[in-house]
Structure 1
Amino acid sequence: MQQDPSEKKYIHGYTATEQERLREQALVIERPIYGYIDFSKVRDLLEIGSGVGAQTEVLLRRFPNLSITGVEYEALQIKKAQENMVALGYGPEKVKFIQQDATKLHLDKTFDAAFICWVLEHIPDPVRVLISMKPFLKPGAMVSVTEVFNSSFYTYPYLPAVMDYWEIYNQYQVTIGGDPQVGAKLGALLDEAGYKDIELRSGGFHLDKRKPEEKKTVFTYWKNLMSSGAPSLIQEGLITEKDFKAMQEAMDSLKEMPESIFNYRFIQATAYA
């Protein structure tokens, strides 16, 4: 019997607050991601794990030539994505969403390119996604994949309330079938799936007192990211409400310290079908 999409555990959850956080996150981290992506010559784009349409929105704004088909597993996310696209004035000729398991795609067309962002970290066997989508890409189609490398997260000064929480957060993601270090494996995964001309780059943030306002913005963004996992971590008995509040207070204190440092690197891959 096929599993109900809503039965899968997802560390961030599907609350309205989380759905809005995803859109805010996309804007905060837009420049480091999209500074190295060029879909200006692409017409039909396949987006895997389109969620609430947070990245879809950025893609359509940056590349108005695109027509996007988003594949998403969770019906609640698709409903929100459709609402977001209507509010932005995008009709079905520009974007449509399909509810499917990305490891077992069955699509009715082929695409000029594919885009995956913050998705493979949540999938137990990510190479299956890369293999599944390959028959639906035209020969030579470009694939852009951006993924987490969570062990690169570093803050100064060291605050146990932050780093202990982060360790628990990442270990929980592993227990529910995810991989918080999947970015480091992108090259090998794409090679295993049969893609060619694979190139990798490291992107992200290293912020100190030279950029105080950007540093504050990113600390706030990261606090919200970490907070999104708290309901699951509390429900599973991995942290207490006190631990959660201590993490938030510690992140707020880091945000206000002139001498604090924020570092995080993600991994971005470009390959061709």
Structure 2
Amino acid sequence: MTSYDYVHGYSERESVRLSDQANTLEELLHSDTKYPAGSKVLEAGCGIGAQTVILSKNSPQAQITSIDISEDSLNKAKERAAREGVKNVEFRVESIFDLPFEDESFDHVFVCFVLEHLKEPVQALANLHRVLKKGGTITVIEGDHGSCFFHPETEDAVKAWNSLVQVQARLGGNSLIGRQVYPLIKKAGFTDITVLPRMVYSDSSRPHMEEGFVRRTIIPMVEGVRESAIEMGIIDAETFERGIEDLHRTAAEYGTFVYTFFKGVGRK
């Protein structure tokens, strides 16, 4: 296993899930992320560009460099940017652990849903600290699977959900990293750090959240680890399938679902 194992894989379905997630959470996570005209921004770990398009739209006059270790993901990001008419982004295949940029090259750094997949998140942030200009900011957004609770809560649904947490842990990641955003940023040398939780709540009075977040983001995310969870002996197939069925009930008429993201901003 490397530092770049992605627990959800690189399937077309995962690309759709990431797009649905970004679109559903755009206002919640990104409405207060805007960079001044002329700013040089590094987006580290852009994936398929789901967040990149939002960054570009919110800061159309900033100069954004978006990097990712996966060339396939980057190609999808380029295609997405072209479809959306994005003009202010340069895409590059680069590693967050071997950044080719000179010291203090960027005014701002943006990292979203990346640290949870890394075995050495503090080192990654320290590398980003190096390429950030003095006085510049870093924005880090991560979820925390331990913040999740739902109704109806069944034993099988909890086991299916926890299988996702355990698979990611065995791959060297940390799906409970949201609660660590502040200490991670601080250990990497940043100051003036603020972290604000961003809670997602879904019930049948919010059909856009039931569909966009629970059915099209959360449940496919859990389903994506089915084979790995079974092969690792974390859960059996029958329990997993019953758990998925029960998770669907959380997006039904009497269901509810709650999850918290953590958005941290620090300064060099």
The counterpart of 1:189, out of the listed 184, 193, 197, is 184
Amino acid at match of 2:180: K
Deviation of 1:216 (Å): 4.4
Change (3 A) 1:232 1:66: farther
Per the alignment, residue 68 of structure 2 pairs with 72
**In 2, Cα distance between the equivalents of 1:213 and 1:48?**
29
SS at match of 2:241: helix
Per the alignment, residue 139 of structure 1 pairs with 134
Q: Does 1:44 align with 2:43?
A: no
Per the alignment, residue 223 of structure 2 pairs with 227
* TM-score normalised over the length of structure 2: 0.90
What do you get for the CA RMSD once the two structures are aligned? 2.2
SS at match of 1:21: helix
The answer to whether the 8 A contact 1:42-1:113 is kept is no
The answer to whether the 8 A contact 1:45-1:66 is kept is yes
Q: Does 1:249 align with 2:245?
A: yes
The answer to whether the 8 A contact 1:52-1:77 is kept is yes
SS at match of 1:144: strand
Change (3 A) 1:134 1:9: closer
Change (3 A) 1:214 1:23: closer
Deviation of 1:124 (Å): 0.5
SS at match of 2:250: helix
Deviations 1:67-99 (A, max 9, x none): 2111211121112112222222234xx212222
The answer to whether the 8 A contact 1:42-1:112 is kept is no
Deviation of 1:100 (Å): 2.1
**In 1, Cα distance between the equivalents of 2:191 and 2:106?**
17
Deviation of 1:213 (Å): 4.7
Bigger mean CA offset, 215-224 vs 159-168:
215-224
- Corresponding pairs, count: 266
The answer to whether the 8 A contact 1:219-1:262 is kept is yes
Structure 2 residues not aligned, in runs of 5+: none
Within a 5 Å distance, the mapping from 1:1-273 to structure 2 comes to 8-40=4-36, 43-91=39-87, 94-108=88-102, 110-208=105-203, 210-220=205-215, 221-258=217-254, 260-273=255-268
Deviations 1:220-251 (A, max 9, x none): 13112222222433444434443443233212
**In 2, Cα distance between the equivalents of 1:60 and 1:31?**
14
Amino acid at match of 1:197: D
Structure 1 residues not aligned, in runs of 5+: none
**In 2, Cα distance between the equivalents of 1:162 and 1:261?**
13
The answer to whether the 8 A contact 1:103-1:128 is kept is yes
The percentage of counterpart residues that share the same residue type is 26
**In 1, Cα distance between the equivalents of 2:86 and 2:205?**
39
**In 2, Cα distance between the equivalents of 1:216 and 1:79?**
28
**In 2, Cα distance between the equivalents of 1:157 and 1:235?**
28
The answer to whether the 8 A contact 1:42-1:65 is kept is yes
Bigger mean CA offset, 19-28 vs 248-257:
248-257
